[in-house]
Structure formats: C-alpha cells, structure tokens
Structure 1
Amino acid sequence: MRQSEILAQVSNDKQTLIAMVEQDDRVAYLYIYAREDLRDRFPRMRGCWVRNLSPAPAQDDAQAMAEGLPPMLAAQYCRSLEAEAPLDPEGIQILWNESDDGAALWYHGLLLAVIPGWSLYIDHSVSYSAGCIQQNSLTFPLGSASTNTQYALADKTRQFWRDWQHNEHNPWPKHQRNFIACYEQRFGPAVKYYAIDQGTWPPMAISQHEDDENFYFFTLGMSIRPMPQIELIFNDEAEHHRRIELAFAVGKEYVDEANAVQMASAMSEYAQLPWTTLSWLGEGHTLLSPVAPLGYEGHVVSAELGAPLGKLEMPRSYGDPVNLFWISPIVATELEFAQSRPNGGHALVAMLTEAGVQPVFAPRAPVV
C-alpha cells in the first residue's frame, strides 16, 4: 500500500485550525484539526471522505478502521463504484468559511466536500461529500445548492472571498462609511479613527466621538464576519446573534482624552476574541482586561446597559442585523460572581441596571 500523502494544507485566518487533504492508493479525505495548544478543547480531528481511489467495497471498510486507516466508503453509498482518479494537488482549493471554523474543498472549480464549522463543537464528526449519495456513518450527501444548505453556503463563501480579493469589489469602503455614519448620526462627527487590524484581514477600526460631557468609542469591522458557534447555539435564530460591534463611553469629568483612549483600547483585543478563541460574545459575557480602569478587573458585555443612550439603528452586514454591545468596567467581586454560576453575567447586568449604572463609565460602588 502506498504511504498516505498530504496534497494540501491550509491554516484558517487566525491560525487556530488547519485543513488538509490527504490520500493514499485507496481513498482521499479532507480533514480539519486544531492547533496543538487548542487540542484540549478540540481533541478530535474532523474528517470527510472525498472519494475512493480503488473499487468501492461491498461492505463498510471495518478492516481499515481496525488498523487505524481512513476507511473507504461502501458501494451502496457511492456515486461511483469504480476507482476514481487520484486528486491532483494543482486542482485543489481549500476555502475557510467566514466564521473561520469550517472548510470546503474545491477541485478544478467543483465543490467536492464540506466540513461545517458547527461540527467542531459537537461530539461526532459531520461532513458532506459530493461523491456520497446516501447518509452513512462517514459522511452525508452534498447534493446541490438547491437541495443542501451546506452546498449553498459554500458557494456563498466562495463569492465572499472573491469580493475581498478583488479591489474593484472591495466591500470595506462601503461598510466603513455605513457604520461611521450610523455612529455620527447619534454621537456627532468622528474626531479620531484608529486602525486595529495590524494590516491583516479583515479591516477593523475604532471610531472616536465626543460631546461636551463624554468620550465615545465604537468598533467597526467586527460584523464583517459571523462569530463561531452561533449556528449551533441559536439554530434558526442565528442570524440575529452572529454579527456584533462593541462600544465604550467614559465621562470627561473623570479622565482626559489620553486615558479615555487607553481604556477604550480593550476593545482592540475584544474585537478579535471570537476568532482567536473560536468562541463568541453576547449579552452578559464577562472579560478580563489589563487596560480596565484602575480598580476594575475587566468588562461585562451588554446591549441592555446601553439602553439609556437609546437604540442605534445599526446597518446590516451581509443581510444580517448587527448588535451593538457596550462594554462596562466591573470589579473583581463582580467578575467572580458572574463567572461562578450559570447565567451569572445576566444576573450581574440586572444588578447593575437596578443600581442605576449608566453605559457611560464613571467611578461607582461595587454591586457585589
């Protein structure tokens, strides 16, 4: 038997996951596995059968599984019973999905396999293959864009990357204008603009605004990408939760501009967090920050705490609504309270609201 060969290997945008295509003389597979330091959270490699390179076996390939080899797909599940041609590395393109946790295998422009991002967070592998015609223990049929959502999403992802790779279709200038205009409509002209993407994709920035009493800061660019895990957690409601931007405000009575900017810099790290940790941010989530105001340990993330400032009509991003979450500094006892019990963050937000804590930060007494 010919030794297996890695034909392609591509990391995702944040280098947290690796996708690879591997084949021997029997079978070809697409795999996704986690970076070494993340394997405690994601120990299982996700695999998708792509094609048999030898005639399809009549029964499940139990011998290969017993020997620790990638199994061939049994004949009853295969589009082709004959041996298919080995994959040519030159024809392979691996595209990561927008949330950076799933991948699709394209071959000479044809979609061969998909491992959806949400399969990373469940206890068994789920994948879709164009060569499969019937559900089985190895993979599901990929079908077509009209019969399978995963196929349609992979097609949409390919167009997404095409737009970002061609300057004449670059979506950023319009996205940038729409969000700054939204912030300016409520909080006045942008007075400063800070790029926070370190020159990498996607473009991200913080827009600074102010009035006579307060400094206001808003991210833009987070909502270009849907956050990981959202499809699995919220299912049919996912579109209402997967795209966000962040806001922070502080009173001029307590800080000068330089200190306000330093406090707002916490958003720079938070803006990358869903994709660097393969997680998500939502109402009541709590975060540690070394740049929280003196005496505070981090922030609670909340749209509810921003209610006194009025609801902004945020622009949509790729057809989805965008949620604006305010980050409010919290002390060590509040952070411990929130993280020590189920839904503790929601309970903390309720306590802060009851205590009259405003979205514009000012020194205050702990509520815990």
Structure 2
Amino acid sequence: MEQDNRTAYFYLFGDNEDFGMKSCWIRNLTKAPEEIEVKLMEKGIPPMLTKEFCKFPEGQESLNKKNLEIVWMEEGDGAALLENGEILCVIPSWGGDRGFCGYARDCNGQGGFAWELSEDNEIRKRINNAISFIKEWNEEVNPFQSLQPQILDYYEDIFGESEKYYAIDNSDWPPKGLYVYEGTEKIVFATVAVSLRPQPKVEMYYEDASKVNRIELGIILKSGLTNDEINNIASLISGITAIPWDYITFVAEGHTVEFETIASEKFKYAVLTNKLKLLPEMNVPAFGNSHTNFLWIVPVSDKEWKMMKESGSKVILDKLDTIGEEIFSLERQEVV
C-alpha cells in the first residue's frame, strides 16, 4: 500500500514477468476531481478517483499501516487489503485485465481505477475462505497433517504399501509429498496434498473452477528403474507440481509439460490426462468440501508432442489407447 497527501493505492508485484505489477485505488485523501487527472498520470503520479465514483467525494483520512493487513487468496494470484478486519480493497486474479483494476469498498460503480466492492460480491466469500484457510495452519492438526494420511491410505489400498515417500515441497509452504510403490511389474508415483491449494487463474477459463482447480498427479511405469531414475522422476514430478504457483497458471486435462528423464532419451515431454482406459480412475480424498482432479502423467515423444500442439491432445490420446500396457513403457514405439 502506498499513499501521498492526495490518494492511497494498493499494489501487487509478482516474481513472474507475466504477472507484472497490478494496482487498485483505495481512497482519496482530499476532495475528488471532476475529471481524470491525465497530466499527473503522464508524469507517473497516481491519480485520484473522480467524484462520480467516490462514496466520499470530500476525501477521507489517511490510512494507518498499523491497522492494515494483507490477505492472499488461496490460489496466490490475488490479495485483499483489510483495515481492522474489514475489506478495503481487492485485486483478484483478473486484476489488470481489460482495464479492470480491482474492487474497493469506497468506490461507487465502475470507476477507471477501481470497481465498487458490493456486499453481495462473491469475492468476499473467497477472502473469508482464505482467512479461514490461513488460521487452520495454527490448529493442533493442520490441513496437511489431516489430509496426508487419508491420501496415503487411499493409495496403499489401491496399489500397495509403499516403502518410499518423498517430501517434494523444497521446504516451501504448503508441504506436499510423493508416494512411490515399487511392484513386481509396475512402479507407481502419486503426489500427496498438492490439492491443498487451488490453482491460479482457473476461473478465467472454466465456468465451474471447482472441478479443475485442485489437482494430484501420478505416473505408472514398468518396473526395473534404478534408484537414480526413480529419484530423477520424483524430481520431475515435484517440478510439475510447482508450475501453477511459480508461473501463475494451471494444469488440466490434455495439457503437456516437459518431462526429460534420465530413464529415456526418446520421451522428453508428457501429457496430463485421466482419459486413457488403462489408467485407474482415482477418487482421492479431498480437502474440505473440494473436489480433487487426479491427472496421470503419460510420457510422449517429441513427434507426439508436436502433433498434439498442432492437432490437440485427443489425437495422440486416442492412439495411445490402442497400445494397451505399452503406455507404461519408456521403450514403447511412437504412435505417429
């Protein structure tokens, strides 16, 4: 938050260059102008909101930083500014898109630097959910401690008891893990508690974000991998689970990712899917009342990846469905 003797603004900065800087007006500290202060904007000076859109056109008192708190959305792609627990301003994931900056409590209507934060705005519920989510991490049993054993029990019931478990969070919050089961014919990798956080930006592309925004990932391969190969694949899966929050994006059915493993020179990419007939249909225990979308990682070659880029993933997925258990082999023939 920044303010001078005229106005106050809320700013968000992202490490990812695609995120850039986002800003939203909070309040005017003096009498609102009739027209937009174009000349000040040209000099890089934050403009006041015009009188037409101000609930308090005569201005308000300066904000005291001691009374302010920032609450990040669960997805990590937006945040709210609170004063003594009351929402002043929100920059959601779509802030900065098509001229929309964010929502402000003290705005009337749709101003150029903020839109009104109405009482019935759904964003209020999401902010309250984010506040509750943060508080849960201070409970005696936090969300990870609750969800992790449920997911591990589920995997062990389906695939078998595992002797290997990796922490794949790189000591970052929130924690997440990787279950690995080495059977006589197949080895199964499956993530644990990636679904604690919803993925960013999903609501901008899907009408019902709840069916897509929480994920767990897995891969099934033929047995016989060395310890080094297993560790390498575990590291690659860890990297994929970080994509949504490192790049403020999301992964979903049919998306492709880099998957360059030391276990294969042919397959350097992978498609994420739960549509292949031989892949188990997963119903992973979910966090709260959420739905978890489980996606299998299926390695593909450079030629297969290029065809998916040109014609869509379904072309290759349909062909992979015809080769049976060869989909689990890193030595299979290409389907193009």
**TM-score exceeds 0.5:** yes
Tell me which amino acid in the other structure corresponds to 1:162: K
Q: Partner of 2:236 in structure 1?
A: 266
Instruction: Tell me how far apart the structure 2 counterparts of residues 53 and 130 of structure 1 sit (CA, whole Å).
Output: 15
For the residue of structure 2 that corresponds to 1:268, the secondary structure is helix
- Residues 201, 249 of structure 2: 8 Å contact kept: yes
Alignment of 1:117-132 (within 5 A): 117-119=93-95, 122-132=97-107
- Residues 112, 129 of structure 1: 8 Å contact kept: yes
Alignment of 1:248-287 (within 5 A): 248-252=219-223, 254-256=224-226, 258-287=228-257
Tell me which amino acid in the other structure corresponds to 1:98: E
Tell me which amino acid in the other structure corresponds to 1:129: A
For the residue of structure 2 that corresponds to 1:112, the secondary structure is strand
Say which of 300, 310, 315 aligns to 1:330. Answer: 300
Instruction: Tell me how far apart the structure 1 counterparts of residues 156 and 234 of structure 2 sit (CA, whole Å).
Output: 18
- Residues 229, 261 of structure 2: 8 Å contact kept: no
Instruction: Tell me how far apart the structure 1 counterparts of residues 57 and 84 of structure 2 sit (CA, whole Å).
Output: 22
- Residues 260, 268 of structure 2: 8 Å contact kept: yes
Say which of 152, 161, 168 aligns to 1:180. Answer: 152
Q: Partner of 2:324 in structure 1?
A: 356
Say which of 151, 159, 168 aligns to 2:132. Answer: 159
- Residues 187, 210 of structure 1: 8 Å contact kept: no
Instruction: Tell me how far apart the structure 1 counterparts of residues 327 and 95 of structure 2 sit (CA, whole Å).
Output: 37
Query: Any idea what the Cα deviations from partners look like across 1:154-189, whole Å, max 9, x if unmatched?
Result: 12111111212x142511111101211221121122
Instruction: Tell me how far apart the structure 2 counterparts of residues 107 and 169 of structure 1 sit (CA, whole Å).
Output: 29
Cα separation, partners in 2 of 1:359 and 1:182, compared to 1, 3 Å: farther
Cα separation, partners in 2 of 1:69 and 1:276, compared to 1, 3 Å: same
Instruction: Tell me how far apart the structure 1 counterparts of residues 159 and 149 of structure 2 sit (CA, whole Å).
Output: 15
Q: Partner of 1:11 in structure 2?
A: none
Tell me which amino acid in the other structure corresponds to 1:24: D
The alignment's TM-score, normalised by the length of structure 2, stands at 0.92
The answer to whether the aligner puts 1:238 opposite 2:209 as a matched pair is yes
For the residue of structure 2 that corresponds to 1:297, the secondary structure is strand
Query: Gaps spanning 5+ residues in structure 1: where?
Result: 1-20
Cα deviation for residue 256 of structure 1 reads: 4.2
Cα deviation for residue 32 of structure 1 reads: 2.0
For the residue of structure 2 that corresponds to 1:271, the secondary structure is helix
Cα deviation for residue 26 of structure 1 reads: 0.5
Q: Partner of 1:15 in structure 2?
A: none
Query: Any idea what the Cα deviations from partners look like across 1:25-82, whole Å, max 9, x if unmatched?
Result: 10000122333xx43x345x32211010112223444443344322211223222222
For the residue of structure 2 that corresponds to 1:265, the secondary structure is helix
The answer to whether the aligner puts 1:80 opposite 2:56 as a matched pair is yes
For the residue of structure 2 that corresponds to 1:231, the secondary structure is helix
Query: Any idea what the Cα deviations from partners look like across 1:120-166, whole Å, max 9, x if unmatched?
Result: 5x34333100111222222111123xx111122112111111212x1
Query: Any idea what the Cα deviations from partners look like across 1:271-297, whole Å, max 9, x if unmatched?
Result: 111111112111222222332532221
Percent identical pairs in the alignment equals 30
- Residues 283, 346 of structure 1: 8 Å contact kept: no
Instruction: Tell me how far apart the structure 2 counterparts of residues 73 and 214 of structure 1 sit (CA, whole Å).
Output: 62
Deviates more, 1:288-297 or 1:236-245: 288-297
Q: Partner of 1:294 in structure 2?
A: 264
Q: Partner of 1:227 in structure 2?
A: 199
Tell me which amino acid in the other structure corresponds to 1:107: E
Instruction: Tell me how far apart the structure 2 counterparts of residues 342 and 54 of structure 1 sit (CA, whole Å).
Output: 57
Instruction: Tell me how far apart the structure 1 counterparts of residues 19 and 228 of structure 2 sit (CA, whole Å).
Output: 41
Q: Partner of 1:137 in structure 2?
A: 112
Instruction: Tell me how far apart the structure 2 counterparts of residues 353 and 316 of structure 1 sit (CA, whole Å).
Output: 28
Query: Gaps spanning 5+ residues in structure 2: where?
Result: none
Say which of 19, 25, 34 aligns to 2:14. Answer: 34
Say which of 63, 66, 70 aligns to 2:46. Answer: 70
Q: Partner of 1:10 in structure 2?
A: none
The answer to whether the aligner puts 1:25 opposite 2:1 as a matched pair is no
Cα separation, partners in 2 of 1:80 and 1:265, compared to 1, 3 Å: same
> Pairwise CA RMSD of aligned residues?
2.1
Q: Partner of 1:320 in structure 2?
A: 290
Tell me which amino acid in the other structure corresponds to 1:185: D
Instruction: Tell me how far apart the structure 1 counterparts of residues 158 and 126 of structure 2 sit (CA, whole Å).
Output: 35
Q: Partner of 1:106 in structure 2?
A: 82
Tell me which amino acid in the other structure corresponds to 1:183: Y
- Residues 265, 291 of structure 1: 8 Å contact kept: no
The answer to whether the aligner puts 1:95 opposite 2:71 as a matched pair is yes
Cα deviation for residue 348 of structure 1 reads: 2.1
- Residues 250, 260 of structure 1: 8 Å contact kept: no
Instruction: Tell me how far apart the structure 1 counterparts of residues 182 and 225 of structure 2 sit (CA, whole Å).
Output: 13
Cα deviation for residue 361 of structure 1 reads: 3.3
- Residues 106, 112 of structure 1: 8 Å contact kept: yes
Cα separation, partners in 2 of 1:110 and 1:169, compared to 1, 3 Å: farther
